[in-house]
Structure 1
């Protein structure tokens, strides 16, 4: 009984510890502060000021949703096909190619943004949401391909062979059978891709110059008064709450699949 109580007490303490920054941000976004949208008392003045900042909150939300959706879709398609190829096919240089893909994780994130910015200029994708999404997809692929390869390896080959015997081609067996079997891995990869694209600040800051194309993190950091560079912390906290709520809700909804994805394939050697 004591051990059980201690276990639940430790879990509750950790939950409070991790939730405290978000709760504090919510409190600060509603609390009045001098020079902010809510000068005194409690209210939604900071949220109103944030919603009216620059191009408007709907524009920044649309940009973030568009970038996140393209990043998730591209990551799932490429990592799904790549993970299946690495798990099921044998070809010359397979292990070397896989190690090269994983080696991208060892490259510092900031060091290749400038070369990528030049490359996007050659492709006429500079200062576009599509170009930003392609960069974010590239940084997601090492983990995503590793995850999907292990997820496909955890699926018995007899399942695919049975589909082939029933008349499926390799591609239709992948679409109709195997993708359903590795759905927890796909959800895990998609969730990671969404969280990265939604919260990323550095890549949009470097690759996007037009204020009308700013994502929500860049727009939130840009909310500051021009007088002596004073920052409107009330509006900033409101922006933090708006950004965090989507991530929190999405994680809670997909938590069961997320945990199952790691248990079924991500920890497989």
Structure 2
């Protein structure tokens, strides 16, 4: 009786997540009485053009994912393999960032970026996104490295590898699921985030997709253009769904080998 109940419950939960996406897709192609792609045509020509907003989003994603993976990999390797004064305190301070709701410090960050000359910049926005991704990413990578036996390090050192060689040639392939998990979370955060770009970006030509799509709500005489908004939702959801399905196996392995280890 447990197996049918498990599958029935799983199917019900899956339907709860899938039905809104199907409804959005249906609404985007049937704005009136029949099938139409007019909402996607309006989406393509809205504002600066969907190509500009997509380019901004892709650039933001590339910078955020690359920076998050690079910094968290080096930090996780250091925390798991090297003993240095204040290691536990520093690790605790990094994790403490998780307790701070990031919208509460966006205004100070906006002022700081202005002093650094990175205000209204995708690079500055990417740095903010990286900062808020690092606590989880460092935690994940530290535990992923800790799950790899130190005997591999010793064998590589005996063969002549240095510390950086051990990381690049031996440990990175072993923690690949953790890298994929960190990269996937960074991708989802930078692809979908709305609040940070809304506050830190002021130029229309630098808006990422979430801000541009929300701005589509206002149509003639204050009416909401729901079909175009639903087209934008589908445009944003499709890459996330495809990437998650492709990387699902690595994503699950990353959590099993990293986050569930003490």
TM-score norm. by structure 2 comes to 0.98
- Counterpart selection for 2:100 from 93, 101, 107: 107
Cα distance in 1 for partners of 2:247, 2:85 equals 38
Contact 2:125/2:197 (CA < 8 Å) preserved in 1? yes
State how many pairs are aligned. 262
For residues 158-237 of structure 1, the aligned pairs below 5 Å read 158-237=151-230
In structure 1, list runs of 5 or more residues that go unmatched.
Answer: 34-39
Deviations 1:196-251 (Å, cap 9, x if unpaired)? 00000000000111101110000000113454422111111100011001000000
Match of 1:23 in 2: 22
Structure 1 vs Structure 2 CA RMSD: 1.0
Displacement of 1:31 in angstroms is 1.3
Bigger drift between 223-232 and 169-178 goes to 223-232
Displacement of 1:41 in angstroms is 1.5
Cα distance in 2 for partners of 1:140, 1:76 equals 10
Match of 1:66 in 2: 59
Contact 2:98/2:135 (CA < 8 Å) preserved in 1? yes
Deviations 1:58-94 (Å, cap 9, x if unpaired)? 1111111110111000000000000111101111111
Q: 1:27 to 1:226 in 2, by over 3 A?
A: closer
Displacement of 1:8 in angstroms is 1.9
Contact 2:219/2:225 (CA < 8 Å) preserved in 1? no
Match of 2:246 in 1: 253
Cα distance in 2 for partners of 1:149, 1:4 equals 36
Match of 2:150 in 1: 157
Cα distance in 1 for partners of 2:217, 2:104 equals 28
Cα distance in 2 for partners of 1:54, 1:231 equals 16
Deviations 1:3-54 (Å, cap 9, x if unpaired)? 3333222222211111111111101111124xxxxxx422111011011100
Match of 2:110 in 1: 117
Cα distance in 1 for partners of 2:31, 2:65 equals 38
Match of 1:11 in 2: 10
Bigger drift between 5-14 and 79-88 goes to 5-14
Deviations 1:89-114 (Å, cap 9, x if unpaired)? 11111111001000101111111101
Cα distance in 2 for partners of 1:245, 1:60 equals 16
Match of 1:263 in 2: 256
Contact 2:43/2:228 (CA < 8 Å) preserved in 1? yes
Bigger drift between 185-194 and 227-236 goes to 227-236
Cα distance in 2 for partners of 1:12, 1:105 equals 33
TM-score norm. by structure 1 comes to 0.95
Deviations 1:146-193 (Å, cap 9, x if unpaired)? 000000000000001111110100001101110111000000000000
Q: Tell me the secondary structure at the aligned position of residue 35 of structure 2.
A: coil
Matching of residue 139 in structure 1 with residue 132 in structure 2: yes
Q: Tell me the secondary structure at the aligned position of residue 236 of structure 1.
A: helix
Bigger drift between 101-110 and 7-16 goes to 7-16
Cα distance in 2 for partners of 1:260, 1:74 equals 22
